């Protein structure tokens, strides 16, 4: 009985440490994802996206419906999060980036501290 009490006490004491080690989920709006693609992404598919005069446009939606999440079966479920401006916030995005005459299907995942993970949405 004493051993069980010690194990339970240790588990309860270590639970906050385990929760702190999990990366915090950052939620962002589709407008923030589009802005990152147009102004923050420097290169994609071997092409520079910083060329002066290069016309870029981006369109992003919730990544829950992306080809990547459907194929892998690992979803960042949509959560009813809304920022102060009334925009819905998500963890992942399915985006289309048009840069000049090229169009790319991209999958973005939010990371802590304002960073992004970008991959092809296949």
Domains in the chain: boundaries? 23-120
Return the pLDDT at 59: 97
Sheet containing 56-62: which strands, arranged edge to edge? 56-62, 92-99, 102-111, 115-120
Task: Quote the pLDDT of residue 17.
Answer: 44
Please tell me the predicted confidence (pLDDT) of residue 104.
96
What is the H or E stretch that residue 109 is in?
Answer: strand 102-111
CA distance 12 to 23: 20
pLDDT at residue 54, as a whole number: 92
Query: Could you tell me the sign of the dihedral formed by the alpha carbons of 25, 81, 90, 110, in that order?
Result: negative
Using the structure block, give the residue that is written with the tokens 């289309």: 96
Read off the pLDDT of residues 50-93 as tens digits, 9 standing for 90 and up. 999 999 999 999 998 888 888 888 888 777 788 899 999 999 99
Could you read off the pLDDT of 10-46 as tens digits, one per residue? 555 544 544 443 445 689 999 999 999 999 999 999 9
The angle at the Cα of 64, spanning 62 to 113, to the nearest 5 degrees, equals 65
């Amino acid at each position: 009985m004493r051993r069980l009490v010690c194990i339970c006490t240790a588990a309860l004491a270590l639970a906050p440490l385990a929760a702190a080690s999990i990366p915090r989920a950052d939620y962002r709006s589709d407008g923030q994802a589009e802005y990152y693609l147009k102004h923050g992404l420097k290169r994609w598919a071997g092409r520079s996206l910083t060329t002066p005069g290069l016309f870029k446009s981006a369109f992003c939606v919730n990544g829950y419906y992306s080809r990547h999440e459907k194929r892998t079966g690992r979803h960042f479920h949509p959560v009813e999060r809304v920022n102060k401006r009334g925009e819905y916030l998500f963890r992942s995005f399915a985006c289309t980036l048009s840069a000049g005459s090229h169009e790319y299907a991209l999958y973005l995942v939010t990371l802590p501290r304002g960073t992004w993970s970008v991959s092809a949405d296949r």
